[in-house]
């Protein structure tokens, strides 16, 4: 007689029906791919409506991710499924990464005015600029006779 084998209580394989949505990811100019914050695992939904986590491997992006080129990059992630789960519909994870434009090095983005003001003539007041605020967050006190050569923000106010 030949050997016969029986598998008892075998569970049928479950099918992947969906993956969790990944919100858009915004990163600073120059961020390397490893620093994008793409998840290493993602929650997947199965045909029986249960959920589980699965590791995900991300491609290089479309277009190919370049940390020196601001723009929108679409990444596709292939699921690494545990035993008993299959993916005949090739469901993948998707992530959109927005690489922001390069911020110029430490430019003036604002000015801090003295809280007090004084009248020059009837109907006109004058505020004294006391600090320059830079894009890095740094603030620099401006002393008497300081000169600001270039300001990269719109100046508004009343024109008389």
Q: Does domain 14-99 have CATH number 2.60.40?
A: yes
In this prediction the pTM is: 0.61
Reported as a pLDDT band with limits 50, 70 and 90, residue 159 is: very low
SS3 95: strand
User: Which string of DSSP letters, residue by residue, matches 60-88?
Assistant: -TBTTP-TTS-EEEEEEEEE-PPTTEE-T
Q: What percent of the chain has pLDDT over 90?
A: 54
Tell me: the pLDDT tens digits for 102-147? 877 777 777 676 666 555 555 555 556 677 777 777 888 776 656 6
Domains of the chain, by residue range, sit at 14-99, 108-141
CB-based burial, 2-39: b 16+ in 10 Å, e otherwise? eeeeeeeeeeeebebeebeebeebebeeebebeebebb
């Amino acid at each position: 007689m030949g050997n016969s084998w029986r598998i008892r209580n075998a569970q049928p394989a479950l099918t992947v029906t969906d993956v969790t949505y990944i919100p858009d990811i915004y990163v600073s100019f120059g961020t390397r791919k490893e620093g994008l914050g793409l998840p290493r695992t993602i929650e997947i939904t199965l045909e029986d409506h249960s959920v589980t986590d699965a590791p995900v491997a991300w491609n290089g992006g479309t277009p190919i991710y370049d940390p020196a080129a601001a723009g929108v990059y679409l990444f596709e992630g292939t699921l690494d499924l545990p035993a008993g789960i299959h993916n005949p519909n090739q469901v993948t994870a998707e992530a959109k990464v927005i690489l922001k434009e390069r911020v110029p090095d430490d430019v003036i983005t604002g000015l801090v005015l003295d809280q007090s003001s004084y009248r020059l003539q009837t109907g006109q007041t004058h505020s004294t600029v006391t600090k320059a605020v830079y894009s890095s967050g740094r603030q620099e006190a401006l002393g008497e006779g300081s000169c600001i050569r270039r300001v990269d923000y719109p100046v508004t106010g009343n024109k008389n």
